[in-house]
Structures are given as C-alpha cells and as structure tokens.
Amino acid sequence: MDTIKIFDTTLRDGEQAPGAAMTIEQKYEFALQLARLGVDVIEAGFPVSSPHQFEACKLIAENVKGTTIAGLARSVEKDIDAVYESIGKAENSRLHTFIATSPIHMEYKLKMTPDQVVESAVKAVTYARNKFAEVEFSPEDGTRSELEFLYRIIEKVIDAGATVINVPDTVGYTMPDEYGLLIKSIMNNVPNIDKAIISVHCHNDLGLGVANTLAAFKNGARQAEVTVNGIGERAGNAALEELIMALNVRKDLHHLNSNIDTKQLYNTSRLLSVIMASPIPRNKPIVGANAFSHESGIHQHGMLSNRETYEIMTPESVGREASEIVLGRHSGLHGFKKRIDELGIALSDEQIKSAFEIFLKLADRKKEVFDEDIMQVAGSVLGTKSTFYNLDYFNIITGNTVISTATVRVKIKDEVFEEAATGDGPISAIFQAIDKATSISGRLVEYNVHAVTSGKQAIGEVSVLVEIDNIKYLGKGSSTDILKASARAYIAAMNRYKLSMENNGAAREN
Ligand code: KIV
Ligand code: ZN
C-alpha cells in the first residue's frame, strides 16, 4: 500500500482567505499543531510578500521539527532568496515556485509568451536547486492550460531539478474524471516524470476539491495540498480532514496510507477556528457540531442498537467525544429514555410515556431541548422539583481595570444562599461564588460556548464539564447573556452531581 504525502497550506493559501489573517505567534502555534497532526510538509507562507510573512516563516522554520517547511516564491530570484533567508535553516526545507501556464493567465496577467514562461520557470528552478534539496514547481491554473504546453514545461523543470510537480486546479474548474485523466496523461506523456512526484492542489469553487484530489490519487498523484477546515482563496481548498477520512473510511477502495494521526484532526480544526475567530459550520463533515449528532427518532433508535446503522466512522477516531443524541422535536421515545437514564432520573414506564408527551410539546416550541429542560419535564411528572439548586440572582463587576467580582444567590428548597467571590475573569468569579453558595468544590475541566442562533441577539449555549469528587458532570445552559448561560450550565452540572448522589452515581459523565 502506498503512503501519500500531505502538504498543508493552511498558513499560506488558507491565510490568503478574507478574514483568515493570523498573527506571527498564532501561525507558530498552529504550525506546532500541524506537526503533531503529522503533516509531511507545512507551507509556512510567502516570505517575499511582507515582513510579517517573512518573520512567521523564519520562526516556524527554526522551531518546528519533524516535518518539512516550505515557502512559496514566484519564479524570480528575489522571491527565492527570501524563501532561502527565512526557511533555509529548517530541519528540512522546500522551495515551492510557481508561474501561470494557462493562455488567459499568460496573456492578461503575466503578459508573457509561452516561451518566456518556460524560460522563467527553468531559470527559477535551476537557481533554486543550488540552494534547496527539494524544489517543487507549480504551473498555476494548470487545469486550464494546454496539454502539450504542460507536458513541455513539466519536462523542462524536471530536467532543471524539480523534485515535485504540483498541478493546481487554481480556480476549482475541473471535474473528478477529467482531472484524473489529466494526471494520467502527465504520467504517460512526460518522459522524465519518474524523477518527480506528482502533487495536486484543488480549489473548491464547485465543491469538488476533495473529490478531485481522490481522482488524482487514483491516477498516480502521491501528494495532496490541502488546508484545515478547507480554508483558502474564495471557496477554499480541499479540506485536510475530509480527504484523510475519505482515504481511511474507504481504504478498501483507495488502498492508500498517510502519516496523519487522525485523532488530532478535531483539535487541529478547533484550534484554527479559535485562532481565526471563525466558527465551524454545524454541518461541516468530520469537525462540525452535527457530524456525530443524531436527532431524528429513527436514527436515534438505530444508533442505540448499533452505531454503524448511521455512522461510517467513530467520533473517537477523529479525536472527538462520543456521538451525541440531540433531543428535539424529531426525537423518539428511545432517545428520550436514554437521556433520562443518563441524567440518573428513575421513572417508571408510565412516567416515561407521560414525560415524553410533555417533552414533545416543549420540543415543538424550542429549537433545542437542554438537560435542564429534561430535568424540569421529569420533575413535573414526578410532582417534584428535580432541580435542587436554582440560580436566583447574579451580579458581576468586571472590566480591564478591575478584579472581576461575582455575587450569586442560589435557592435550595426555600432557603437562599448568597455569596461573593473574585476570579481571573467574570466566569471564574461566578463559578467560585456558586461553589461557595452550594458548598461544593467543583473543578472546571472543559468550557465550551457556541451560538445556537445567529445575529447580534444570538442565544449562546454554554456547556461545562465539572469534576466533583473525581467524577465529571456535564452541564448546559443557554441565554442571550453568555455569563447567565455560564452560570446556568455550572448550576446544571451541580444538579447532576446532586441527582447522581441521590441515585447512586447513575448520572455520571465520564
Ligand atoms: O491555487 C494555486 O494555483 C496556488 C499555487 C500558488 C500553487 O495556490
Ligand atoms: Zn491555491
């Protein structure tokens, strides 16, 4: 089985996308994560384009080990020198040079004849080969270039010393079969192609970036240029996580390995989303919130019997937590009962049925039903209040010149407990004040927030994992006020703890 190479260009092509700009430190942090993920090549940037790009490439090249660091250059000496000065000290370095080869680019952008383009490419590769052991050449807009011209320029640059030939679908124009044929015809018509490996670089303008990359692998390409979360110019590039999981899930078809540690995929995606302050769409394959969530009753029933009914890969295989059964208006009795069990609430079959009726009415009114709602529903069937701790009031003083101070009032049955605490920030202050008011000492293990609705009035959902007496309890809370949502989530975790104490630990989340 062949092993394909993953060339990650998130920090170069990806960062060219509107809204994707990163600081030098953020690029460095992300490059470290790419190395952990196991990419073979990190394209760190386009050093000649700005002092920022130059410095980021240098920092990454000098400190990120265990992978090759590449830098981009047009086919001119000044660009190649900038790459050499910035990444020349990397453990392994690669020069990536490009020049456009399609008639439209040569005539309108470069204003050069095809012969001049070949001459520049050969000159650049020859110059680069004296400085770098690995030289990659890209005929930009390759998929809209004339075939005979492509064969000619590729042969010449390989003779000049190029070791990797990248065939970019710069404008995301090609189709899988067509692109596969193009790679095959390059393999068959460039006499010295055995001296280089073929790489592919597919933009996603028609949503075919990953499909085109797979078609190219089928026809002999052995390196893919991809970006995490598929970011990049316009509609982006082929997404690394989608390509890798397509190869893994359908190994029976592709027979290809990679060096990627798939368990790092989710972390890498999340890190990028946090750095770019750009949420991952819920329905994004592999890394979106819905990728392993099931709401419809039929799907939940299938999943509870055998997860393979509706999942072709496990969330754990991409570094995520267990699949989620999301309760909403499409859910069935099986999913509802499972959540009641997880919450540690003991209901008879009759009570479950009544609670389910109430739940369905509630789910019709609400976009998503949270654990706190389920506990209220169960409580109404039991004729009791199933929430032990209730947040009565909270107040926060915070800012960049004051120490965050929170006051909370928690109701336990008819008694009211009011406490105040300070913290590193408002969230920490609230959680500490709740600890005092409930006399429970919780350790925050995980804190996540996401917008359930969009716009400035978005409802934020906070989920927390709180460790109490060595057991972790999940709590969720929602509100248009993120601090209120946080307080509700923390109280919800405390209520789960209380319930589990009363039900001999049945509501554990571990
Ligand atoms: O899309 C493209 O053609 C590129 C090249 C520089 C490889 O990003
Ligand atoms: Zn590109």
Q: Which domains does the chain have, with CATH numbers?
A: 2-275 (3.20.20.70), 293-382 (no CATH), 389-509 (3.30.160.270)
pLDDT of 385: 53
Nearest C-alpha neighbor of 376 from the set 361, 358, 392, 360: 358
Q: How far is the CA of 233 from the centre of ligand 1 (A)?
A: 9
pLDDT of 95: 98
Which two structure tokens, joined as six digits, stand for 211? Answer: 């499909």
Ligand nearest to the CA of 139: 1
Q: If you take atom 3 of ligand 1, which residue's CA is the nearest one?
A: 170
Burial zone of 343 (CB within 10 Å; 0-12 exposed, 13-18 middle, 19+ buried):
buried
Probe residue for ligand 1, chosen from 98, 136, 202, 231 as the CB with the greatest number of ligand atoms within 8 Å: 98
The dihedral built from the CA positions of residue 379, 385, 387 and 388, taken in this order, carries a sign that is negative
Q: Is the Cβ–Cβ distance between 492 and 371 less than 8 Å? A: yes
Give pLDDT < 50 ranges for the chain.
504-510
pLDDT of 505: 41
How distant, in Å, are the alpha carbons of 15, 235, 386, 460 from that of 18? Answer: 8, 10, 48, 25
Q: If you take atom 6 of ligand 1, which residue's CA is the nearest one?
A: 98
Q: What is the pTM of this model?
A: 0.77
Segment (H or E) for 118: helix 114-129
Q: How far apart are the first and last CA of the chain?
A: 38
pLDDT of 360: 93
Q: If you take atom 8 of ligand 1, which residue's CA is the nearest one?
A: 13
Residues with CB under 6 A from ligand 1: 13, 98, 138, 140, 166, 168, 170, 201, 203
pLDDT of 373: 81
- Taking the C-alpha atoms of residue 446 and residue 270, their distance in angstroms, rounded to an integer, is 14
Q: If you take atom 4 of ligand 1, which residue's CA is the nearest one?
A: 170
Q: How far is the CA of 430 from the centre of ligand 2 (A)?
A: 46
pLDDT of 509: 38
